[in-house]
C-alpha cells in the first residue's frame, strides 16, 4: 500500500469515528432549532455557527457525513452485487443471453437518471421516518445505478470465459455452478471491489445533487446535499467561511475514496 492510500483510508476511518462520536460530543443534536440564533457566526457554543433555522452547523455536518459515509457504501454494495450478477451472467453465458442483457443495460444507461430517481421517489409512501427516507434514497440510487458497472463486469467475465484456465477447466469436466464458483467468481472479485469503491463517491455526489434540488434526504435529517444548499447564490454574496466546510469535506472525502482505490485492480 502506498502512503497516500494509507493516509486516505486513515482519514476516512477517523472521520467515520468522529461522526459516530458526534452524539456524545454535541448533545444539542442536529435538529434542535435555536430560533433566537439563526445564521449565527461561529462561537464557543456553535463552532461552525448556525444555519438559517438556528441549528448547529457542526452537529448537522457530522450527522450528515455519518449518513453519507454509512449509506453510500451500502448503496454501492447493492449496485455492485446487482452489476456482478447481471454482468457476470451475461459475460459467462454469452450468445443471445449476453446480447439481450447488454441491450437492456444500454437502455437503462440511456434513461435520464435524475428524472427516474425523482419519479420513483414521488411514488414512495409518504409516512416514513427521516432515517428510513435516507435509506430509501440511497437504496434507490443503488438499485438504479448498476448498469455502468454491469458493462465492465460483463466485459471481464467474457474475457474470463475465453481464458485458457477456463478452457482447461471445461476440458477437465467442470461445468455450470462449479465453473462459476471455483473459477469465475474468484476472478471477478477484484473487479467487484473496484466497482464498489468507484461507486461510493458517485453515490455521495448523486445524493448531494438530489439534496441541492430539495429532493434528497428528508428534513430534519441532514445530508451533504442539504448542507450545500446554504451556498446557493454564493457567487453574488459573501457567505460565512464556515458555510464552505461541507463542500470542502465533500471534496476531501470523494478524493480519499479515489485515493483508497487499489490501483492495480482497476481494469484498463
Partner 1 sequence: MKRLLSCLSLLIAIAASSFAVAQTGGELRFCLRSDPKTFNPILVEDDASETIRYLTGGVLMHLNRSTQQLEPELATSWKVSEDGKTIRFKIRDNMSFSDGTPFTAEDVVYTIQRLMDPAVHSPTGDAFRSAPGKVTALSVGKDQVAVTFPAPVVGLDKLFDQVAIMSAHSPQKEMAVLGPYRVAEDKAGSYLLLKRNPYYWKRDAAGRQLPYIDSIRLDIQQNRDMEMLRLVRGEIDFINTLDADSYDKLKAKAPGMVQDAGTSLDAEQLWFNQVASSPLPAYKKAWFTSTHFRRAVSSSIDRADLARVVFRSHAQPAVSWISPANKYWFNARLQPHPFDPKAALQLLSQDGFHLKNGTLYDRDGHPVEFSVVTNAGNKAREQMATMIQQDLAGIGIHLNIVTLDFASLIERITRTFNYEACLLGLTNDDLDPNAQMNVWLSSSENHQWNPSQKTPATPWEAQIDSLMRQQASTLDLKKRKQAIDKVQEIVWQQEPFIYLVNKDAMSAISPSVHNAHAVVLRPQVYWNIDRLTLGKEVASRQ
Contacts to partner 1 by CB under 8 A: 31, 33, 35, 38, 52-54, 118-119, 122, 126-130, 133, 213-215, 218-220, 229, 232-233, 235-237
Pick the closer one to partner 1 by CB: 177 or 236. Answer: 236
Q: Which residues contact 124 (CB under 8 A, 6 or more apart)?
A: 136
CB of 116 to partner 1, least distance (A): 12
CB of 33 to partner 1, least distance (A): 5
Q: What is the DSSP letter of 49?
A: -
Alpha-carbon distance of 48 to 29, in angstroms, equals 14
Name the one residue in this structure whose C-alpha cell is 409516512.
127
Q: Give me the residues paired with residue 183 across strands.
A: none
3-class DSSP assignment, residue 50: strand
CB of 34 to partner 1, least distance (A): 10
CB of 140 to partner 1, least distance (A): 14
Pick the closer one to partner 1 by CB: 102 or 217. Answer: 217
Pick the closer one to partner 1 by CB: 10 or 213. Answer: 213
CB of 135 to partner 1, least distance (A): 14
**H-only helix segments in 94-184:** 95-110, 113-122, 130-144, 147-161, 164-171, 176-179
Pick the closer one to partner 1 by CB: 1 or 123. Answer: 123
Amino acid at each position: 500500500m502506498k502512503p497516500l492510500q494509507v493516509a486516505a483510508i486513515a482519514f476516512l476511518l477517523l472521520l467515520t469515528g468522529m461522526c459516530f462520536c458526534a452524539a456524545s460530543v454535541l448533545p444539542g443534536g442536529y435538529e434542535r432549532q435555536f430560533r433566537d440564533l439563526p445564521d449565527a457566526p461561529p462561537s464557543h457554543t456553535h463552532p461552525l455557527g448556525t444555519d438559517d433555522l438556528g441549528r448547529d452547523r457542526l452537529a448537522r455536518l457530522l450527522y450528515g457525513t455519518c449518513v453519507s459515509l454509512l449509506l453510500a457504501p451500502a448503496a454501492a454494495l447493492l449496485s455492485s452485487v446487482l452489476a456482478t450478477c447481471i454482468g457476470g451472467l451475461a459475460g459467462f453465458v454469452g450468445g443471445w443471453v449476453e446480447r439481450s442483457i447488454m441491450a437492456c443495460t444500454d437502455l437503462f444507461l440511456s434513461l435520464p437518471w435524475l428524472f427516474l430517481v425523482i419519479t420513483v421517489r414521488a411514488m414512495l409512501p409518504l409516512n416514513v421516518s427521516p432515517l428510513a427516507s435516507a435509506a430509501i434514497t440511497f437504496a434507490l440510487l443503488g438499485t438504479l445505478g448498476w448498469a455502468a458497472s454491469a458493462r465492465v463486469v460483463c466485459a471481464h467475465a467474457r474475457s474470463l470465459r475465453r481464458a485458457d484456465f477456463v478452457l482447461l477447466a471445461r476440458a477437465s469436466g467442470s461445468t455450470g455452478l462449479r465453473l462459476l464458483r471455483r473459477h469465475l467468481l474468484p476472478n471477478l472479485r477484484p473487479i467487484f471491489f473496484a466497482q464498489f469503491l468507484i461507486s461510493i463517491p458517485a453515490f455521495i455526489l448523486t445524493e448531494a445533487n438530489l439534496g441541492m434540488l430539495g429532493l434528497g434526504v428528508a428534513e430534519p435529517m441532514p445530508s451533504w446535499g442539504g448542507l450545500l444548499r446554504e451556498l446557493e447564490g454564493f457567487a453574488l454574496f459573501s457567505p460565512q467561511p464556515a458555510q464552505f466546510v461541507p463542500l470542502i469535506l465533500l471534496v476531501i472525502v470523494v478524493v480519499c475514496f479515489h485515493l483508497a482505490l487499489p490501483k492495480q485492480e482497476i481494469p484498463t
